Structure 1
């Protein structure tokens, strides 16, 4: 069962309630009996594929970020890193 967040339009009271998908939403504020609205949060999205935009980038290599750049031909290459040991 998901948790839903509610906000009162009158007193701004906010709370979460665990409810089944088929259960009716709560409409009355438990604090002031005002009108409740269910708060909708944006869902994070990960887009995969497509052509990356031009410019500097970094990619994770091992345990450090390594700069990469786009060549004139449009390919991405890893920049050389000089180890300072």
Structure 2
């Protein structure tokens, strides 16, 4: 479930609420009891990790293609690249 940020227009109180996406927005401020809460727009504060994500999703620069680099032969191993006729 996402965490939504709210701010009261009446008193300026800020809060976070863990809600389902289908839940109705909160309206009543717990600090001043006015129906002046509004949702704030903010960036997500998480990072996707674990199985099922591409290795390159969060890599930059020369670390970007680690899986592809490991699959390529380096040419320094000697006779492992001999062709059969």
TM-score range for the pair, normalised by the shorter chain length: 0.3 to 0.5
Higher relative contact order (CA 8 A, sep 6+): 2
- Which is greater in Rg? 2
The structure with the largest helix share of the pair is 2
